Structure 1
């Protein structure tokens, strides 16, 4: 029969951090309105997986919807709470004095963790979450991952 060399041989498994209600969830304050009049008003975060020749790596960036910049990030071989704590430390240090940004995420377990929630609250961030199973609610951040993977990873063998 015919074979298509473009299609995947193995089933595609996408990284998913959702483990149900493991902590506190928050209202979707952003509501798919990703426009902001200035930097540090609306930010988005998520975790994406990169398959590399030596294993997997995970990127946890914070994207500013107004300036279109990655204002903080962490890269890890394991998408765990330590990665999020590292990213939050960079984010808190970068945050300008006197601003109270909304940080939007999906409902991944790490964003419901009490340490994550407390760090944001203690440092003047307002937490916002997508509705369960609705990736479009975090579309601005998801598109950054798509562009990043298209430009740097598709067709490349990073060793």
Structure 2
């Protein structure tokens, strides 16, 4: 590796000085240089090109774990550590932010409360547990507000709505999109925070009239809706902060591309075995057929 590093900087620094800096002999370097490229080096160079191409194809959104899964499924065997090593050598860094982790709350599991979810973000089937929340996207003038509904079984975004104001209608539109696209049975839990929109009589009536059980986080406790917070973090890091929409229409186009074209259909989710939400749900329905 040191010889390869010297070769990569041959036009910038003296060979003699670099050999001294890296504690190798100049004769050894020239001997290595004359023998040509080994088969292992050729394989490495080939993999580096594939990694770079795949990294660009996913718009810098995939780090080593997801790239390794993608390459292995494409018939190119590689480990996560090796992909991470080659990415570091090529200065490839995925758009990333602080991971959002949740910790089970023992007290919440032992008490009967309005928080029916109790930080249990797992589900046995689709349409058993949904979560919803609102976030904002900064624009040149003001903000765009995005309401989202996620199915916890597959982490699929099944409903969303974007507008320039944060009204009851925003969350109702997102809920209605989710409801119309799914097979909802009485008993479904729909979890949210205690925002005024989610506590509105109109919204609560819609849920209860359809046999849906509303659940809410405890006051000021964002960890109770960690799955939704994690999605918003990914959306902003992998799309919003990179593309920086300036108008509501640009924000809508950006959200549509991320949710409908990338996140639901393509993005590999660690919580469901590095499959996309759409693929994970398809496998469920095939098993039940």
TM-score range, shorter chain: 0.7 to 0.9
- Give me the TM-score of the superposition, normalised by structure 2: 0.44
Alignment coverage as a number of residue pairs: 134
Structure 1 residue runs without a partner (length 5+): 1-25
Please state which structure has a larger fraction of its residues in helix.
2
| Structure 2 residue 176 is matched with structure 1 residue 89 | yes
CA distance change for structure 1 residues 146 and 138 in 2, over 3 Å: closer, same or farther? same
RMSD of aligned residue pairs (Cα, Å): 1.5
Please state which structure has a larger fraction of its residues in strand.
1
Q: Which has the larger radius of gyration?
A: 2
Contact between 1:88 and 1:119, CA under 8 Å: does it hold in 2? Answer: no
After the TM superposition, which of the residue ranges 126-135 and 48-57 deviates more from structure 2?
48-57
Picking from 118, 138, 156, the partner of 2:205 is: 118
Residue-by-residue CA offset, 1:103-142 (whole Å, 9 max, x unaligned):
0000000111111000001112110000001000010111
SS at match of 1:29: coil
Post-superposition offset of 1:100: 3.1
After the TM superposition, which of the residue ranges 47-56 and 30-39 deviates more from structure 2?
47-56
Instruction: Find the aligned partners of 1:146 and 1:56 in 2 and give their Cα distance.
Output: 17
SS at match of 2:236: helix
Structure 2 residue runs without a partner (length 5+): 1-112, 247-289
- Give me the TM-score of the superposition, normalised by structure 1: 0.79
Q: Which runs of 4+ in 1 moved over 2 A?
A: 97-100
Following superposition of structure 1 onto structure 2, how do residues 55-134 of structure 1 map, counting pairs within 5 Å? 55-98=142-185, 100-134=187-221
Instruction: Find the aligned partners of 1:62 and 1:83 in 2 and give their Cα distance.
Output: 11
